[in-house]
């Protein structure tokens, strides 16, 4: 195939791939499932009898800040609002967003209504509290004689009213409470279960929009809160940031290329190539069903920054076609070798972002080598050579700068503090975001908000009497763990372990699950395959602020499974996030060394010179160690900084590949190297100005890694000065 035919085929193919975005638009996700693989959650999602769902939270206060729950008219107002939410009879308060499939709404008042109804009393039709509270129910809803509806109402009151509320009839055993009084609180929570579908989490922000709309059209201040809503807000912030960065990056790159190349046509061609790469890659990934996260969007400006290398080396350096080809190929394979290590990471977000970057970097090289190369060389011949008179750099020998630079980088790594941040939702929001303050306030008031769910998935047979007895023993043992949150009524203490309840006259798991009512938080906890019960998911509420305790609980739960003769797995956001951080802490040094080895092997295979390959690998390791050390000063070292370290090593390999060959440094080579570095750095600096923390931290670290890499490469280039340079 002739070069022009190959060029045409590549352009047409990439344009067609980009066109796939029309029929397969991007729908990036943002939740814990796209950050790390939680085997327990995956199995629950696939096998749950009740269907998988996400839980969102709404917080209600009256505009005047006064009591809600002991004001009967306000209680009935909010019950009416709940009905309008579902039936759509009032356009001001109806749920009108098809993007979210609402599965269930759980409110304290609906639970209260069922409890009163079980005693033939109607909360909806009452005109005063006496209609409901008299004759007196002496032990309230938490007594030993309470029916299932009343126990559910007590649980709802305990979980969805704030700490310090007077529980009244919900539990007269509490200090200050009375069976003749309604619960008294100035705010409540609603729990919204959203069906787990292909589009569920992408539009969680719709609940916030609904809350703001209803707040404007009612006497209540409503806010969407909780962990999942924080992920939704983080996604909205990231989308806004990345839209700005991509547009601004094209403008900044265009400016830098035009000034650096002194040729607006070459600059425009480079930008066109970048757009072609981005469109083709994301079009193909979307069409193939690859689940992109919003974190993968960080790859966009990085792919753009990497693409400028070829433009400067072909257009501005003194190297010939074959030399530039060799340099850019070495740079591409060593960079991809470093980044590709992330594809083998146990953390899903790293694998996904690493793959997107590796594909983008490869396509950058393909477009530069096979589409733009002839154009760049032709433009170079057309320019006035007097503008680009080359000459070898001369002066005092500074060969000592290479080992000194390596020592400085090593000292940065050695002096950096140890430790790794646990991967949790707070890392995806700006430190001054109001949602963090609201979450902290929520956690100080509500058991539900201050806890996190640890999952224990147990393999059982639904019709086995032995499994039912053993499962009850396991649930009781889990409840005795010190990390588990317990609800205290003053008379008894109930650990928050929600699985298959112990039901009178039930002898199997299936019978117990089918004859018991749903809990406030969860419904049927059984898992099934081919219509047969295959397991049970046990939800355990543990302290949401102690990551080490969460990890310890998961380990102890696995031990208990084995001791009770069960097979199964444990998971949950905090336990899995803590494990991911521990794995990263244990492997981050070896990951840098493995990346260095991979770079050495690839470079040696291409250049066939051990000394040159060793220089590239050693320099890349030095940059990786230094960037890892610097990460502790920019938001903390963590799982989301690991890929910036690998990419920094890739950049180092890229620039060191240019300068490691036995080629005396020249004015034009130095110019090409620094203009390429500054152009890439300008994009990363833009990324560092964003508010989405992973993007901001990546931008900061990549900006530093580019600067450190080009300085190190310059030092290496000076080792090739002729011996008579003194």
Phi, psi angles (nearest 5°) of residue 534? -115, -10
Is residue 197 domain-shared with residue 57, that is, in the same domain? yes
Is residue 205 domain-shared with residue 243, that is, in the same domain? no
Is residue 72 domain-shared with residue 86, that is, in the same domain? yes
CA distance 533 to 48: 10
Would you give the distance in Å from CA 534 to the centre of its chain? 30
pLDDT of residue 231: 79
pTM of the model: 0.80
3-state secondary structure of 668: helix
For residue 128, is it within any domain?
yes
CA distance 570 to 548: 15
Cis peptide bond prior to 135, omega within 30° of 0: yes
Is residue 368 domain-shared with residue 220, that is, in the same domain? no
Residue 715 corresponds to which tokens in the numbers above? 């030092």
The percent of the chain in helix, strand and coil, each rounded to the nearest 5, is 60, 10, 30
Residue 182 burial by CB count (10 A; 0-12/13-18/19+): exposed, middle or buried? buried
Is residue 288 domain-shared with residue 366, that is, in the same domain? yes
Is residue 527 domain-shared with residue 644, that is, in the same domain? no
pLDDT at 295 over 70: yes
Higher-scoring residue by pLDDT: 550, 391: 550
For residue 445, is it within any domain?
no
Residue 314 corresponds to which tokens in the numbers above? 């072909």
Q: Is residue 372 within a helix (H) or strand (E), and if so which, with residue range?
A: none
Is residue 246 domain-shared with residue 343, that is, in the same domain? yes
- Of 519, 543, 565, the residue that ends a domain is 565
CA distance 711 to 656: 10
| pLDDT digits 0-9 by tens, 448-498 | 777 788 899 999 998 889 999 999 999 999 998 988 887 665 555 678 888
For residue 37, is it within any domain?
no
3-state secondary structure of 466: helix
Radius of gyration of the chain measured on its C-alpha atoms: 31
Return the closest-CA partner of residue 596 out of 523, 652, 640: 652
Is residue 201 domain-shared with residue 285, that is, in the same domain? no
For residue 21, is it within any domain?
yes
For residue 453, is it within any domain?
no
pLDDT of residue 122: 94
CA distance 599 to 204: 42
| pLDDT digits 0-9 by tens, 680-696 | 888 889 988 988 888 88
CA distance 156 to 147: 14
Phi, psi angles (nearest 5°) of residue 229? -70, -30
Is residue 226 domain-shared with residue 250, that is, in the same domain? no
CA distance 431 to 686: 19
| pLDDT digits 0-9 by tens, 130-161 | 999 999 998 899 887 888 889 889 888 988 99
Q: How confident is the model at residue 388 (pLDDT cuts 50, 70, 90)?
A: low
CA distance 254 to 703: 18
Residue 69 corresponds to which tokens in the numbers above? 């729950």
CA distance 81 to 677: 58
pLDDT at 199 over 50: no
Is residue 538 domain-shared with residue 591, that is, in the same domain? no
Mean pLDDT across 269-281: 91
CA distance 353 to 689: 20
Q: Is residue 606 within a helix (H) or strand (E), and if so which, with residue range?
A: helix 573-607
- Of 538, 565, 592, the residue that ends a domain is 565
For residue 46, is it within any domain?
no
| pLDDT digits 0-9 by tens, 304-358 | 888 888 888 888 777 788 888 888 888 888 888 888 888 887 778 788 888 998 9
| pLDDT digits 0-9 by tens, 174-198 | 888 899 999 999 999 998 888 755 4
pLDDT of residue 580: 77
CA distance 45 to 53: 8
For residue 313, is it within any domain?
yes
For residue 408, is it within any domain?
yes
Residue 295 corresponds to which tokens in the numbers above? 């974190």
Mean pLDDT across 557-577: 89
- Of 565, 600, 630, the residue that ends a domain is 565
pLDDT at 116 over 70: yes
Interaxial angle between packed helices 373-382 and 308-316, expressed in degrees from 0 to 180 and rounded to the nearest 10: 40
pLDDT of residue 398: 66
pLDDT of residue 5: 81
3-state secondary structure of 493: strand
Token pair 């757009």 is found at: 275
In terms of residue numbers, what domain contains 550?
461-565
Beta pairing partners, 59: 189, 223
Return the closest-CA partner of residue 451 out of 421, 484, 429: 484
Return the closest-CA partner of residue 512 out of 502, 522, 520, 523: 502
Domain count, the chain: 3
CA distance 540 to 226: 18
Is residue 213 domain-shared with residue 243, that is, in the same domain? no
For the beta carbon of residue 600, count every other beta carbon within 10 angstroms: 22
Is residue 498 domain-shared with residue 529, that is, in the same domain? yes
């Amino acid at each position: 195939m002739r070069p022009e035919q190959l060029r045409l085929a590549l352009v047409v193919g990439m344009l067609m791939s980009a066109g796939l975005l029309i029929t397969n638009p991007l729908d990036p996700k943002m939740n814990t499932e796209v950050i790390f693989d939680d085997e327990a959650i995956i199995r629950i999602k696939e096998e749950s009898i009740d269907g998988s769902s996400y839980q969102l939270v709404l917080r209600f206060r009256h505009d005047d800040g006064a009591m809600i729950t002991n004001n009967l008219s306000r209680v009935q107002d909010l019950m009416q609002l709940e009905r309008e939410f579902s039936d759509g009879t009032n356009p001001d308060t109806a749920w009108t967003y098809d993007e979210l499939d609402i599965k269930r709404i759980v409110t304290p008042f609906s639970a209260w209504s069922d409890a009163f109804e079980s005693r033939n009393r109607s909360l909806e039709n009452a005109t005063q509290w006496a209609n409901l509270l008299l004759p007196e129910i002496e032990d309230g809803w938490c007594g030993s004689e309470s029916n299932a509806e009343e126990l559910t109402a007590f649980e709802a009151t305990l979980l969805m009213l704030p700490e310090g509320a007077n529980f009244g009839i919900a539990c007269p055993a509490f200090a200050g409470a009375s069976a003749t009084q309604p619960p008294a609180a100035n705010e409540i929570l609603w729990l919204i279960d959203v069906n787990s579908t292909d589009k569920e989490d992408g539009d969680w922000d719709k609940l916030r929009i609904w809350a703001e709309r209803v707040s404007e059209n009612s006497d209540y201040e409503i806010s969407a809160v909780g962990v999942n809503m924080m992920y939704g807000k983080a996604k909205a912030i990231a989308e806004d940031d990345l839209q700005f960065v991509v547009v601004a990056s094209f403008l900044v790159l265009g400016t830098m290329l035009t000034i650096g190349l002194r040729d607006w046509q070459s600059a425009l061609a480079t930008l066109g190539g970048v757009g072609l790469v981005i469109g083709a890659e994301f079009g193909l990934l979307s069409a193939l069903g690859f689940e992109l996260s919003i974190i993968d969007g960080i790859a966009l400006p990085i792919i753009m920054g990497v693409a400028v290398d070829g433009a400067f080396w072909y257009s501005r350096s003194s190297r010939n076609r074959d030399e530039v080809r060799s340099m850019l190929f070495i740079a591409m394979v060593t960079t991809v070798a470093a980044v590709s290590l992330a594809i083998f990471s146990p953390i899903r977000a790293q694998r996904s972002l690493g793959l997107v970057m590796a594909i983008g970097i490869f396509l950058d090289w393909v477009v530069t080598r096979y589409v733009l190369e002839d154009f760049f060389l032709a433009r170079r011949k057309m320019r006035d050579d007097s503008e680009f008179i080359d000459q070898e750099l001369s002066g005092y020998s500074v060969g000592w700068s290479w080992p000194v630079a390596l020592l400085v980088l090593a000292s940065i790594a050695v002096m950096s503090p140890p430790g790794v941040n646990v991967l949790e939702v707070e890392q995806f929001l700006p430190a001054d975001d109001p949602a963090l303050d609201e979450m902290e306030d929520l956690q100080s008031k509500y058991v539900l908000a201050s806890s996190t769910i640890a999952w224990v998935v147990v393999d059982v047979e639904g019709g086995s009497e032995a499994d039912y007895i053993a499962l009850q023993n396991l649930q009781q043992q889990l409840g005795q763990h010190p990390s588990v949150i317990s609800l205290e009524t003053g008379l008894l203490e109930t650990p928050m372990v929600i699985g298959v309840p112990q039901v009178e006259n039930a002898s199997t798991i299936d019978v117990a699950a089918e004859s018991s009512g749903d809990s406030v938080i969860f419904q049927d906890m059984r898992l099934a395959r081919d219509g047969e019960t295959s397991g049970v998911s046990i939800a355990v509420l543990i302290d949401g602020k102690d990551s080490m305790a969460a990890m310890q609980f998961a380990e102890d739960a696995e031990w208990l499974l084995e001791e009770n003769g069960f097979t199964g797995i444990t998971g949950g956001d905090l336990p899995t996030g803590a494990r991911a951080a521990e794995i990263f802490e244990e492997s981050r040094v070896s990951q840098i060394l493995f990346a260095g080895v991979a770079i050495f092997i690839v470079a040696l295979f291409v250049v066939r010179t051990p000394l040159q390959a060793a220089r590239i690998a050693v320099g890349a390791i030095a940059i990786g160690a230094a960037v890892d050390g610097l990460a502790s000063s920019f938001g903390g070292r963590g799982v989301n900084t690991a890929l910036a370290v690998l990419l920094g090593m890739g950049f180092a390999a890229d620039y060191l590949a240019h300068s490691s060959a036995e080629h005396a440094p020249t004015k034009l080579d130095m110019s090409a190297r620094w203009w390429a570095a500054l152009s890439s750095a300008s994009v990363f600096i833009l990324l560092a100005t964003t508010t989405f923390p992973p993007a901001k931290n990546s931008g900061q670290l990549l900006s530093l890694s580019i600067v450190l890499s080009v300085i190190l490469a310059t030092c290496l280039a000076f080792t090739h000065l002729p011996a008579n340079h003194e």
